[in-house]
Structure 1
Amino acid sequence: MPPTASRARREEILQLANTTGLASVEELSQRCGVTASTLRRDLARLTADGRLARTYGGAMALTAHPEASLRQRTGEAYAQKRAIARWAAAQVQQGETVLLDAGSTVGALAHELRAAKDLTVATTGLTALHEPADVESVHVECLGGTLRPLSQAFVGPLTEAALERMTFDRVFLSADGVTADGGICEADQRQTRLKELMARRAAHVYVLAHTEKLGRAPFHAWAALPPGWTLVTHRTALRDQVTPFTDRGIRVVQVEPLEEPGGGASQSQGGDA
């Protein structure tokens, strides 16, 4: 293979590693159309050049994926988050007990739930705690613990102990990234452990994720999700972003933009994962 083609392939490897955060040799060889041994030579060259860090079976980009604060994330994909939150709020029925994760999209959902009647809301997030705090028809339960400043979320053994004493009709989870095979990707293992526990305590599990989070794995902590969970994203998600989920039988809801007349949601429905 000519040197120029080798360089182009190595740049493609870097781009893929930077996008996903972690890529296996098998994934990279399929993507680049070369053998695994050729890929390993490319990885060795990129590592020697200081452009890539090797892991067992794959490669990790040296480009950092710093965790954004909740304040930084609030303005991202704002219209998508509002549309997702509006749809999610419409699923909640009077008299239910719901569990809200931390995060900006779930915070937007908490704002929508201010109009709810006879509702109990338990949450691990400060934003979701503050939004309905002054609404008399919403009973608020705070799952305390150790406050994580970046995510404005409670985590740790005290939070987990509180969860073990409650069950919920629905849980709405946030994600830094979400994939069909891995589940929810986060920066902190305390967060992923907590999300797994939250999912186990609810009859219906929803992951709220705007399109930029689909298929992304920027960190190395994961929360596996139980069968039958629902991914709620935006109508603008591309087919190749959605297909990996529906192929695994995961229910995907793509909400319409709020500004479109006759909005609502289009669903691509699968069976249990």
Structure 2
Amino acid sequence: MYAEERQQAIGTLVSQRGRMSVAALAETFGVTTETVRRDLALLERIGQIRRVHGGAVPAGSLTVGEPGMAERDQTRAEQKERIARCALTYLPPAGGSVIFDAGTTTARMMPELPGDHDLTAVTNSVPIGARLASMTAVSLILLGGRVRGVTQAAVGEDALRLLSTLRVDVAFIGTNAVSVDHGLSTPDSEEAAVKRAMVKAANHVVVLADSSKVGREHLISFAPLDSIDVLVTDSDISAESTTEFQDHGIEVVIA
């Protein structure tokens, strides 16, 4: 294989997988790690990939932008539906307590919640809160604060103050991105602070993230991998990423 062909193939593989390590690329193409690093440097110069510690991610993976609710809700909708249904298996027994983070995937859990399941539920999401308020078996704690229009989530000191006093059985957390090096991340600092407090308040943390978010990194990390107990994702996650997460003690569940 000529160098140009290998570089094109590397760029394609990184785009498909979301993240590839230098070692894995070297093994795949039968070259040295030094050769791979030179290839990645070239691909980064032409804007096809971005180099990260130990490997590479697609050029668009390191972002500060944030799509609106409508756009996110329509993206990978089928996978999100399966992930939400699968995540319901981690609900605590009747009488338990949960946090539902704002997000289009966590919101998909609402229609599937058993109507007679006695639950104390905490959320900063306006649409999730509205749905939970109509369930007679649910005792709802709605976090206050400024509501971000782009995510319809309450953020700020009021939400953080209440979360600092809570301890719940399970937190169902959404994220814009998840990677080995950067953990869970999101573009907005106030939203990151609330998510960080939610993770801290939970005995068990279940992350709902479709595979397009795996290997991506946003501006602000709000939780390291060792704070996650379960990652519920879809079957498009790569075997390499699955192994990396499992090596960090995370239960990876394919919905």
TM-score (norm. length: structure 2): 0.77
The code of the aligned residue for 1:229 comes to D
2:4 corresponds to 1:7? yes
Rounded to whole Å, the distance in 1 between the matches of 2:168 and 2:191 is 19
2:247 corresponds to 1:247? yes
Q: In 2 relative to 1, CA 207–61 (structure 1 residues): closer, same or farther, beyond 3 Å?
A: closer
Match in the other structure for 1:258 = none
Instruction: State whether residues 53 and 60 of structure 1, in contact with CA within 8 Å, keep that contact through their aligned partners in structure 2.
Output: yes
Rounded to whole Å, the distance in 2 between the matches of 1:53 and 1:84 is 28
Q: In 2 relative to 1, CA 42–235 (structure 1 residues): closer, same or farther, beyond 3 Å?
A: closer
Quote how far apart the aligned CAs of 1:72 are: 1.3
- SS at the partner of 1:216? coil
Q: In 2 relative to 1, CA 216–113 (structure 1 residues): closer, same or farther, beyond 3 Å?
A: same
Quote how far apart the aligned CAs of 1:216 are: 2.3
Identity of aligned residues (%): 32
- SS at the partner of 2:102? coil
The code of the aligned residue for 1:75 comes to Q
TM-score (norm. length: structure 1): 0.72
Which of the pair has the greater relative contact order for Cα pairs under 8 Å at 6+ separation?
Answer: 2
Instruction: State whether residues 52 and 62 of structure 1, in contact with CA within 8 Å, keep that contact through their aligned partners in structure 2.
Output: yes
The code of the aligned residue for 2:106 comes to V
Tell which deviates more after alignment, 196-205 or 13-22. Answer: 13-22
Match in the other structure for 1:88 = 87
In structure 2, stretches of 5+ residues that fail to align are none
Match in the other structure for 2:120 = 120
Match in the other structure for 2:154 = 154
- SS at the partner of 1:206? strand
Instruction: State whether residues 113 and 132 of structure 1, in contact with CA within 8 Å, keep that contact through their aligned partners in structure 2.
Output: no
Match in the other structure for 1:73 = 72
* CA RMSD across the alignment: 3.5
Tell which deviates more after alignment, 160-169 or 128-137. Answer: 128-137
Alignment of 1:1-273 (within 5 A): 5-12=2-9, 14-15=11-12, 63=60, 65=63, 66-90=65-89, 91-113=91-113, 115-180=115-180, 182-213=182-213, 215-222=214-221, 223-227=223-227, 229-234=229-234, 237-255=237-255
Quote how far apart the aligned CAs of 1:70 are: 1.9
In structure 1, stretches of 5+ residues that fail to align are 256-273
- SS at the partner of 2:196? helix
